[in-house]
Chain A
Amino acid sequence: MSACEPLSPLAASPGLPKSAEGDPVFAEPWHATAFALTVHLHGKGLFGWPEWAETLSAELKKPGRAADGSDYFDCWVEALSALIAKKGVADPSVLRDLQKSWQRAAEATPHGFPIRLENDPLRA
Chain B
Amino acid sequence: MSDHHHHHDHDHDHHHDNRYSDMEARVKALETVLTEKGLVDPQAIDAIVETYETRVGPRNGARVVAKAWTEPEFADWLKRDATAAIASLGFTGRQGEHMRAVFNTPEQHHLIVCTLCSCYPWAVLGLPPVWYKAPAYRSRAVIDPKGVLEEFGVTLPEGTSIRVWDSTAELRYLVVPMRPEGTDGWSAEALADLVTRDSMIGTGLALSPEAGR
Contacts and interface: CB of A to CB of B under 8 A. Distances in A.
A29 B117 contact: yes
Interface residues of A, number: 50
Interface in A10-64: 19, 21, 23-30, 32-37, 39-41, 44, 46
Interface residues of B, number: 51
Contacts of A34: 27, 30
Interface in A87-124: 89-90, 94-96, 98-103, 106-107, 109-115, 117
B52 A24 contact: yes
Contacts, number: 146
Given A32-B49, A94-B33, A23 B25 contact: no
Interface stretch (B53-61, B102-110, B202-210): B53-61
Contact of A41 (B20, B26, B39): B39
B29 interface: yes
A106 B56 contact: no
Interface of A is mostly: helix
Contacts of A33: 27, 31, 45, 49
A25 B122 CA distance: 12
A80 B114 CA distance: 29
Interface in B48-72: 48-49, 51-58
Contacts of B133: 114
B191 to A, nearest CB: 20
B166 to A, nearest CB: 7
Interface in B77-95: 94
B19 A29 contact: no
A-B pairs with the 7 shortest C-beta distances?
Answer: A98-B29, A36-B48, A111-B17, A102-B25, A1-B51, A106-B18, A102-B28
25 contacts: A1-B52, A23-B52, A24-B56, A26-B52, A26-B57, A28-B24, A29-B120, A37-B30, A37-B31, A37-B34, A40-B45, A46-B39, A74-B23, A77-B27, A90-B34, A90-B37, A101-B29, A102-B25, A103-B19, A106-B16, A111-B17, A111-B169, A112-B115, A117-B28, A117-B32
Given A28-B94, A34-B27, A80-B30, 20 more contacts: A19-B55, A23-B52, A29-B127, A32-B52, A35-B52, A73-B23, A77-B26, A84-B34, A90-B33, A95-B33, A99-B25, A99-B28, A102-B29, A106-B20, A110-B18, A111-B6, A111-B18, A111-B169, A112-B166, A113-B135
Interface of B: 6, 16-20, 22-34, 37, 39-40, 44-46, 48-49, 51-58, 94, 114-117, 119-120, 122, 127-128, 133, 135, 138, 166, 168-169
